[in-house]
Structure 1
């Protein structure tokens, strides 16, 4: 058995969830993939995967083994990249976790430029609003908005995203346009957002001069995913607060209207977050520097 190849094949099977997909991605016969997994399980004397005709599941032991060997493979990849001059020509896989709204509305449309500049870098993007554990899930970095909660991590600010309080013209024609945030507590419906792993409900926040207040009552709908949150407001289900980049096109088309413009909400800081003891590979540095330039138009000044 080629032990290193077997480990790489096992990781690919876990990540793709399929022997067939793994064989295609690795350009190996499916029988070779099956044989290597069987040899690895025999060597370890433990079952790593449960496989039926319909489903592939990872055992508890398999999940523990995957987390450890994936980290080792990443470190090996970093070492080889260092020695082979990756700093000059960045290449290899970079695992990045990104919030849904940022991924769909900013990052994905900009990626053709990134891949044109760095054709040998492969991005493995996790798209979700909930925070991930960088160490246990073997993620190189995350792109997240809001206050930092884990001060043991390193955070590089990428942008400050402007926030709008908004609703559709149809909603405002039905319920009227509020002139003061306190009016939202009587006769209006709110569409609120529940953020992060803690699922903390985010109130609507308003500041005018030295006066600040938060509104949390009269919620008609609560969502925990930013793209769905935006879509609910665009469907006229209520008033909400969104980063401006998520509704810029609809603002131009008149499909959404900013309200309470004499009041403002502090911009959302957007950070690139990573482990302090992680080797900063050439591909990571290339991605981080590119982000800083690419997100410049979305900063609040």
Structure 2
């Protein structure tokens, strides 16, 4: 058994959450992937995956083996990249996680440029507002907003985001514009549900030089940025989102900022990655992201 190929196949199955999808990305028959995983489990003497017709999950042994395989494959990638004759062409596969609005607005439109400059780097992009565990989920780097918790992750500052309170002209015609934070009690608001807790996020303001966080009552709540934005555009209520996400609609007049004097302080945006996975390809991608995002975001 080729242990390195077996490790690579196992990691790909876990990442794809499917034998069929893993087989497609590896250009292998599904039967070959299935046989390789069965042989690997037999060799190790323990099951690595729990299989059902609809789901695929790791056993406890599988979780430990996955972490080891990812570290080993990252070390191999780093070693190959460091000694490669093509020193100006880093290569490897990178899993990236980022907020959807950042991915769609900044990263995806520049992917053709990235491919031309680094043709040997394969990117797997996850666009989601869901917080991810880089170590457990095998993600190589992620773009995050807000103050970062202390961790072993390496962080690079990209810029900062300003949060705005907005409404559509349709809403303002029907309900008027709030003149103060206290007036919000008489307005309709849309809440954004935290993907980490499942609870509505507090609304954030700055009053008399102090940051203020307050819960808001709402008839509607969503947990995805595009859907949240669409609720605001439809006039269902006031919304609070980043200036970056709202800017195109503010320019077109489809949204209007309200309570501008009570804007909360900007929050930082960063790209983070585990030091243990800092291959040449990952460092190259991080440097590229830093360069293009800093040109689009205020510092």
Q: TM-score, normalized by length of structure 2?
A: 0.88
Which stretch of structure 1 is more off in the superposition, 187-196 or 112-121?
187-196
Q: CA RMSD in A?
A: 2.4
Q: CA deviation at 1:193?
A: 2.4
Q: Supply the distance in 1 between the matched residues of 2:161 and 2:23 (Cα, whole angstroms).
A: 42
1:130 counterpart residue number: 130
Cα separation, partners in 2 of 1:106 and 1:221, compared to 1, 3 Å: farther
Q: Secondary structure of the residue that 1:37 maps to in structure 2? A: helix
Q: CA deviation at 1:86?
A: 6.4
2:294 counterpart residue number: 296
276, 284, 287: which one aligns with 1:286:
284
1:149 counterpart residue number: 149
Q: Supply the distance in 2 between the matched residues of 1:156 and 1:200 (Cα, whole angstroms).
A: 29
Q: Supply the distance in 2 between the matched residues of 1:211 and 1:32 (Cα, whole angstroms).
A: 61
2:107 counterpart residue number: 107
User: 2:215 aligned with 1:216, yes or no?
Assistant: yes
Cα separation, partners in 2 of 1:115 and 1:258, compared to 1, 3 Å: same
After TM superposition, list the pairs within 5 Å mapping 1:193-232 onto structure 2.
Answer: 193-195=192-194, 197-199=196-198, 201-207=200-206, 210=209, 212-232=211-231
1:274 counterpart residue number: 273
Which stretch of structure 1 is more off in the superposition, 7-16 or 17-26?
17-26
Cα separation, partners in 2 of 1:212 and 1:27, compared to 1, 3 Å: closer
Q: What is the CA deviation profile of residues 225-274 of structure 1, one whole-angstrom value per residue up to 9, with x for unaligned ones?
A: 32322222222221121112212222222211111223322222101112
User: 2:169 aligned with 1:169, yes or no?
Assistant: yes
User: 2:98 aligned with 1:98, yes or no?
Assistant: yes
Q: What is the CA deviation profile of residues 130-189 of structure 1, one whole-angstrom value per residue up to 9, with x for unaligned ones?
A: 32222222222210001112244332110112322101111111111111122112x101
2:237 counterpart residue number: 238
User: 2:56 aligned with 1:74, yes or no?
Assistant: no
Q: Supply the distance in 1 between the matched residues of 2:141 and 2:252 (Cα, whole angstroms).
A: 35
Structure 2 runs not aligned, ≥5 long: none
Q: Supply the distance in 2 between the matched residues of 1:138 and 1:47 (Cα, whole angstroms).
A: 20
1:116 counterpart residue number: 116
CA contact (8 A) 1:51 1:57 kept: yes
Q: Secondary structure of the residue that 1:278 maps to in structure 2? A: helix
Q: Supply the distance in 2 between the matched residues of 1:152 and 1:32 (Cα, whole angstroms).
A: 38
After TM superposition, list the pairs within 5 Å mapping 1:249-260 onto structure 2.
Answer: 249-260=248-259
Q: Secondary structure of the residue that 2:149 maps to in structure 1? A: coil
Q: CA deviation at 1:88?
A: 2.5
Q: Secondary structure of the residue that 2:262 maps to in structure 1? A: coil
Q: Supply the distance in 2 between the matched residues of 1:51 and 1:130 (Cα, whole angstroms).
A: 25
Q: CA deviation at 1:9?
A: 1.8
Cα separation, partners in 2 of 1:193 and 1:284, compared to 1, 3 Å: same
Cα separation, partners in 2 of 1:217 and 1:42, compared to 1, 3 Å: closer
Q: What is the CA deviation profile of residues 258-298 of structure 1, one whole-angstrom value per residue up to 9, with x for unaligned ones?
A: 112233222221011123x4253222222122112211343
CA contact (8 A) 2:193 2:223 kept: yes
